[in-house]
Amino acid sequence: MKYKQIVFDIDGTLIDSEQPILHSLQEVLLHLTGRKYPLEDLTFCLGITGEDTLKRLDIQDIPAAMELWFDILRQHENEMVLYGEIEELITHLKKAGYGLGIITSKPRILFEQDFGKFHISSYFHPVVCADDTKEHKPTSGPLLKYMELSGAEKEDILYIGDSVYDSKCAENAGVDFALAVWGSHTKTTPANYYLKNPMDLLSVL
């Protein structure tokens, strides 16, 4: 077994949540600034924390904006779905004895809201959310926290994500990285493996 721990990002990797995230952010900004941002101008937010997103957009009262964003996202909750093959893949990995974990830029409250509704969510431990670390992707902080919680060494871990932030997080932690091409906007993001579909992971393992 080359890897012992298979660690996943959530948005763009396990669940298709891009449109709900972008549309809810667009609504937040319209409410706060009166300006309707084009969705293509907001795609930078995919893969980083909500706080970092709002800072880049020069929003002043970030806690209030985050609370508004949470409320609007709840209205889009049913639009978030698992990518095809994900349930099959996770079930297979669990039965095969791999440790399964998550590193996400979501705060814990959104992790539970967006992902906790899927029964496979119980297969993942540990789960590192944005509020578990001071440093976030693309730094090594989230993966170092994962190693601390799981007891895994860096060579035991394969991290799977869809963004350059995920790739840099893995690189900075010395962990191998697989790009979830099915959910990625950046198909040339540096990676050890490029997975066109979720079940392609089995050929790597």
pTM: 0.91
Of 3, 163, 13, 18, the closest CA to residue 86 belongs to 13
Together in a domain, 12 and 38:
no
Q: Whole domain around residue 91: which residue ranges?
A: 5-16+81-204
Q: What is the pLDDT of residue 187?
A: 83
Q: Contact 123/94 with Cβ under 8 angstroms?
A: yes
Both structure tokens of 62: 């970030």
Predicted local distance difference test score (pLDDT) of residue 76: 87
pLDDT at 1: 80
Last residue of a domain, one of 55, 79, 103: 79
Looking at residue 16, the DSSP 8-state letter turns out to be E
pLDDT digits 0-9 by tens, 146-190: 999 999 999 999 999 999 999 999 999 999 999 999 999 888 899
pLDDT digits (tens, 9 = 90+) for 99-119: 999 999 999 999 998 999 999
63 shares its domain with 149: no
Residue pLDDT, tens place only, 55-75: 999 999 999 999 999 999 989
Contact, 73 vs 24, CB < 8 A?
yes
- Domain of residue 40, CATH code: 1.10.150
Q: Examine the fold and report which residue of 63, 79, 95 is the final residue of a domain before the chain moves on.
A: 79
Report the chain's mean pLDDT, rounded to a whole number.
95
User: How many structural domains does the chain have?
Assistant: 2
Q: What token pair was written down for 34?
A: 């009166």
Burial status of residue 128 (CB atoms within 10 A of its CB: 0-12, 13-18, 19 or more):
buried
Joined together, the tokens standing for residue 141 give 């902080």
Q: Is the pLDDT of residue 121 over 90?
A: yes
Query: How high is the pLDDT of residue 181?
Result: 97
Burial 70-95 (b: 16+ CB within 10 A, else e): bebbeebeeebebbeebeebbeebbe
pLDDT at residue 186, as a whole number = 83
Show the DSSP H helices in the chain as ranges.
18-33, 50-56, 62-75, 86-96, 108-114, 141-150, 164-173, 201-204
